[in-house]
Structures are given as C-alpha cells and as structure tokens.
Chain A
Amino acid sequence: MTLMLEAPRIVETRPLLDVKGVSKSYGHVQAVRNVSAHAHPGEVIGIVGESGSGKSTLLRMMNLEEIPDEGSYTLDLPDVSGNLFKLDRFARRMLCATKIGIVYQNPHLGLLMKHSSSGNVAERLLVAGERSFATLRQAATDALNASEFPLDRLDAPPIELSGGMQQRVQLAKAIALEPALLLLDEPTTGLDVSVQALVLDTLKRLQQDRQITMVIVSHDLGVIRTLADRVMVMRRGEVVETGLADQIFQDPQHPYTQQLVHAKL
C-alpha cells in the first residue's frame, strides 16, 4: 500500500472550526484546561496524548455531547452562527445530525447493534427529516459503498460484523449527510494491524475525494502521521505543543513530545 504524502497546503481561508479557551472539570478533576483549536476547511487535525490527557473530552465537546464550563465554539458554515455551546438541545441535535459526523472507538456507542447496518446509516437521514424509503435506501447504500463496506452485507446487523466492518458502518453513518466536519475518536484502536491499515486507507481516500475537515484523536502516532496535516499534543488537559505534522514528528520541541516521538519511533 502506498500512501500519497502531500505537502501541507497553505490555507488563507477563515478556520471552519474554531474552539477558544475551553475548560471542563469533573468534580476535582480538571479534564481540559483553557484549550483552543482551529481547523481550516479540508484540513486534518490530529490530537495526540496519553490516556487521560483530555483529548477525548475535547472531541466530545466538539460533537456537542458535553458542554464545557467555559469557552466558545464556532463553525464557519452557512446558517450556523454564534457560540455553539449556547445552543438549546433541539438546535444542537439538528446541528450534530447534519453538520458533524463522528466515529467512536467503541462501535456500541455509535451504532444500534441489532438494527440492520443500512438502517443505522438511514437513521442519520431520518433524524434530519428524510421520509422517503427509496431515498433512504439509496443514500444508505451510497454511504456504505463510499466507506468500502461490502454491499452484500447491507442489511446484516452490526453485532454480526467484524470490528473493521463495524467501523466502516460507523464511518458510513458519519458521512451519510456529507458533514462539514468529521470527528474520529481512536477509529482504529482495537483493530488488528492489517484491518487498521485498510480503515486508514479508506479514511485517507475519503479525505482526498470529499475534502472533509477532520479532527482525529489517537494515542497511536502512526495513525496521526498517516492522516493529519497538523498535530496538537495534549497532556494533563493542556496543549503542550502544536505544529505541522512533519514538524512535530521530525523536530519535537516540548520534552513530553520528544519523549512521545522517541518512544514510538
């Protein structure tokens, strides 16, 4: 498998995603402390860090599943404005369904295990208000096809599928409505290495075809290196270093990043 390594693009647009100064604590534990992040359209941001560094919390906040104690979040999209953390439950659900796609590490979080795979994808469109059976069927088939899911298993429930296939169903569900932002929470963790490579390959191809803005969280530097244009390193709820992917991997500045990169490579 050869990967097309592109030079980082020079972007002059306004960032699509802009998170400013978010903090979140659970009781005494400060999960995220004053973190800011932004992503330009079509850019892939990687967030790395050890377990408990707050990277998943940050991602859940980007998916509006959690509301931080302070901070703001804007998406530069038509008919989306203002601080998204201030939206009511109804607007939040609509926004998440139509503009943001997410793939969880654990497929049980993102999928209805006993419904059919195509039904899982169709649910996205149902939430957004689609009520034609033929359209739902076609859209589900297209999305599953785009995530390289074998179409003869279209109506198999995810519980009967392998881990890699379950991730593909999640991915199809996430991209079914062509979201502007795709969030990936450890999408390949727990898969064996060959399946991991195939899923990464699919992600890479999707990114090239559709120019989706992605935020990918992983503790696996290989995954980040394969996909990300820009990398944020998190530790104990804070960002210790940000930079272009190559820069971070070739010339890490912060001692923790150096440790991380050397431990891996």
Chain B
Amino acid sequence: MSLSTLTKPWEAMSYGFLDGSAKRELRRKILKSVAVPGCQMPYASREVPMARGWGTGGLQVSLTLVNPQTRVKVIDQGADDSVNAASIRRFIARVAGTPTTMDTLEADLIQSRHRIPEEILREDQVLVLQVPNPEPLRSVQPNMSIARQMHADADYGRMWLQLYEQIVRSGRVMQGASYPSLVHGRHVMTPSPIPRWDVPKLHMAKHLTILSAGREKRIFAVPPYTRVEPLVFSDVPYKIEEHGALTCTRSGTKGFFMNEIPQDDGSSAFEVSDSEWGVKTIRANDREAETRGETWYKDGEMPQ
C-alpha cells in the first residue's frame, strides 16, 4: 500500500471552502448552542473571503451545514436580489455546488440579514441569521466579563432600565430592531437586527434558527418549538410596527412588513420588504400558478 492510496487527490480547496477542522469547530458550537437555547457560545471564527461585518458569521454556518443537495436562499433586508445577498448566494453555490432558490418554500437553508421571510418555515428548514452585535447587555454593561456573569446569574434587570429610559424620553419603546428577547425563559438574546415585526415569528417556531456573529465570534440558537418572549413591562404591551394597513405599490399585497420609499412630492410609497413574497403575489395576480405558502401574519395580525 502506498501513501497515495491513503490520501485524497489534490484539490484547490476543501468542499464548502472551510477546512475540516473549521467545520468541526462550527458543528460542535452549533450543537452546544442548540443545547442551551439563547446562550452565546464563543467559537473560533475563520476568515472567509468577505469583510467582517458583511455576514461572515452566517456564511460560516451556512458553509458548514450545506451538502450538494441543500437548496440555499440568501436574503438581505428581505430582498434576494441585493448585491450582498446575490454574492453570498453565488459564493455558496460555487464552493459547495448547491442548487439555489429564491422561493422560501423550496429552500432548505435560508441565510438572512435583517428579516425573517413572511411565509411560515417548516421543521426541515434552517434559518441562519447574521448578527453584528450578539451581546444584549452591551448597552447597559460595557464590561464584557461582568456581562457574562450577569448572563450566568440571569441578572437582566438593567435591560428593563433601557426600556424605561426610552419610555421616559420618548413616550414609547424606541427599540426598533434587535429587540432583546428572553429565550426559553432563561437567556436574553439580541435576535440580530430583525424588526420588532419579526420577533414573534421566532416564538415556538417549527424551524431551527442559528444566529452567528463572525466578528464577535459568538454563536447562539433558537431550537424548534422554543419560547421567545420580547422583554416588556407588565403594563406596557409589546408593539410591532404599524404596517398592517399598508399596501405594496408594486404587488398590491397588504398586511406585511413594508419598505418606505420617499417620493418626489414628499409623500411615501410602500413596497413589501420580503421581495420574493411580492414577486409571488404579482404572479398570482397575473393568474400564474399560485405558489404562495401560509404566512405568519394574516391581515397584518399575528394569530396567537
């Protein structure tokens, strides 16, 4: 037996870009984070050919999870066709040979920044969220060592102080994105910069959500059917954005999270933020095949 029979032929890079040890590290930390919902697990974040802060954390998780059969969807601010989403999608397809899709229902793995798709995700789907700042306590406790101790003690009183300050200063809770939420009644996490609209979608969701911060080197997860409760005062209810009554100017769909587009005359037009949902609605309006799935929100309301 010669040495060459024991080794693989030379390749320009490993399958899925990351080498075996990097993937093992990621998988171990993903398992750990699923085991302790909402708890931040430090991991050895690798270099990927993309700048830190552009989704390197999410990309590493995606590259670890894909196989040649995985259908990958990538969204950025709800859109599949923005530059960042397109280049991440193309990169995953090139290094892992995966089929890609824009359809939420067809996707096995969805990497996202800022949004959770409007259609309900299933048990067999995985959502990967890119997180810029994983530490919810940073704004109230700049010392990370003490913040970690506060997580250990579930000492989250100061998170409400932040909300108190916002109500006192502005009359309402101003936290627009990354709304701090209690996972499984134990750890407070920052659910990446998704709008308040999307946070209730994580509560008792059927799918697995993995949140990864490449620059901060932290990974955490919301396993399927896990409680995710936004922090609120007992007498000030949680409020989502008031987008329920807005209509998309391009597709005519109503009751979903919208992007505001300023017009020349000072007014604003609205366009549905989940671009693929808009595309599907336009197709349905043109009497093409109906491919829209069940949505979390119905008529701008989230059924309890």
Contact in complex: B153, A89 (CB < 8 Å): yes
A interface: dominant SS: helix
Bound-state CA distance A93–B149 (Å) is: 12
Using a Cβ–Cβ cut-off of 8 Å, how many residues does chain B contribute to the interface with A?
A: 16
Within 8 Å CB of A131, what residues of B? 160, 233-234
Known A-B contacts A93-B153, A119-B168; A126 and B233 likewise in contact (beta carbons under 8 Å): no
Known A-B contacts A126-B157, A127-B155; A132 and B235 likewise in contact (beta carbons under 8 Å): yes
Is residue B164 within 8 Å, beta carbon to beta carbon, of the partner chain? yes
Bound-state CA distance A115–B160 (Å) is: 12
Is residue A90 within 8 Å, beta carbon to beta carbon, of the partner chain? yes
- Kindly supply a per-residue 1/0 record for chain B positions 138-176, scoring 1 wherever the CB is within 8 Å of any chain A CB and 0 otherwise: 000000000001000101011011001101110000000
In the assembled complex, the CB of A169 is this many whole angstroms from the nearest CB of chain B, namely 14
Bound-state CA distance A148–B236 (Å) is: 29
Contact in complex: B165, A115 (CB < 8 Å): yes
Within 8 Å CB of B234, what residues of A? 131-133
Out of A93, A122, A127, A128, name the residue touching B164 (CB < 8 Å). A122
Within 8 Å CB of B164, what residues of A? 119, 122, 126, 133, 136
Bound-state CA distance A155–B170 (Å) is: 12
Out of B158, B235, B236, name the residue touching A126 (CB < 8 Å). B158
Is residue A258 within 8 Å, beta carbon to beta carbon, of the partner chain? no
In the assembled complex, the CB of A44 is this many whole angstroms from the nearest CB of chain B, namely 30
For window 76-106 of chain A, which residues contact chain B by CB distance below 8 Å? 89-90, 93
Contact in complex: B161, A126 (CB < 8 Å): yes
Is residue A56 within 8 Å, beta carbon to beta carbon, of the partner chain? no
Within 8 Å CB of A90, what residues of B? 153
Out of B149, B155, B161, B169, name the residue touching A122 (CB < 8 Å). B161
Is residue A265 within 8 Å, beta carbon to beta carbon, of the partner chain? no
Within 8 Å CB of A132, what residues of B? 233-235
Out of A93, A118, A126, A134, name the residue touching B168 (CB < 8 Å). A118
Known A-B contacts A123-B158, A126-B160; A134 and B165 likewise in contact (beta carbons under 8 Å): no
Contact in complex: A93, B155 (CB < 8 Å): yes
Known A-B contacts A119-B161, A123-B161, A133-B233; A155 and B168 likewise in contact (beta carbons under 8 Å): yes
In the assembled complex, the CB of B149 is this many whole angstroms from the nearest CB of chain A, namely 8
Measured CB to CB, the nearest residue on chain B to A135 is B235
Measured CB to CB, the nearest residue on chain B to A124 is B157
Within 8 Å CB of A189, what residues of B? none
Bound-state CA distance A118–B158 (Å) is: 14
Contact in complex: B233, A116 (CB < 8 Å): no
Within 8 Å CB of A89, what residues of B? 149, 153
Out of B153, B157, B236, name the residue touching A123 (CB < 8 Å). B157
In the assembled complex, the CB of A54 is this many whole angstroms from the nearest CB of chain B, namely 27
Measured CB to CB, the nearest residue on chain A to B159 is A126
In the assembled complex, the CB of A228 is this many whole angstroms from the nearest CB of chain B, namely 33
Measured CB to CB, the nearest residue on chain A to B167 is A133
For window 131-147 of chain A, which residues contact chain B by CB distance below 8 Å? 131-134, 136
Bound-state CA distance A89–B151 (Å) is: 13
Bound-state CA distance A129–B154 (Å) is: 12
Measured CB to CB, the nearest residue on chain B to A125 is B157
Known A-B contacts A115-B165, A132-B233, A133-B233; A127 and B157 likewise in contact (beta carbons under 8 Å): yes
Contact in complex: B161, A115 (CB < 8 Å): yes
Within 8 Å CB of B155, what residues of A? 93, 127
Measured CB to CB, the nearest residue on chain B to A90 is B153
For window 2-47 of chain A, which residues contact chain B by CB distance below 8 Å? none
Bound-state CA distance A148–B165 (Å) is: 22
- Kindly supply a per-residue 1/0 record for chain B positions 66-96, scoring 1 wherever the CB is within 8 Å of any chain A CB and 0 otherwise: 0000000000000000000000000000000
Contact in complex: B153, A134 (CB < 8 Å): no
Bound-state CA distance A118–B236 (Å) is: 18
Known A-B contacts A132-B233, A132-B235, A134-B235; A119 and B153 likewise in contact (beta carbons under 8 Å): no
Within 8 Å CB of A123, what residues of B? 157-158, 161
Contact in complex: A133, B236 (CB < 8 Å): yes
Within 8 Å CB of B233, what residues of A? 131-133, 136
Bound-state CA distance A127–B160 (Å) is: 9
In the assembled complex, the CB of B230 is this many whole angstroms from the nearest CB of chain A, namely 13
Contact in complex: A133, B161 (CB < 8 Å): no
In the assembled complex, the CB of A126 is this many whole angstroms from the nearest CB of chain B, namely 4
In the assembled complex, the CB of B237 is this many whole angstroms from the nearest CB of chain A, namely 11
Closest 3 CB pairs of A and B: A126-B157, A133-B233, A127-B157
Q: List 22 A-B contacts (CB under 8 A).
A: A89-B149, A93-B155, A115-B161, A116-B165, A116-B168, A118-B168, A119-B161, A119-B164, A119-B165, A122-B161, A123-B161, A126-B158, A126-B164, A127-B157, A127-B158, A128-B157, A131-B160, A131-B233, A133-B233, A134-B235, A136-B164, A155-B169
Give 16 A-B pairs besides A93-B155, A129-B157, A133-B235 with Cβ atoms closer than 8 angstroms.
Answer: A112-B161, A115-B165, A116-B169, A118-B168, A123-B161, A126-B164, A127-B155, A127-B158, A131-B160, A132-B234, A132-B235, A133-B167, A133-B233, A136-B164, A136-B233, A155-B169
Binding site for A on B (CB under 8 A): 149, 153, 155, 157-158, 160-161, 164-165, 167-169, 233-236
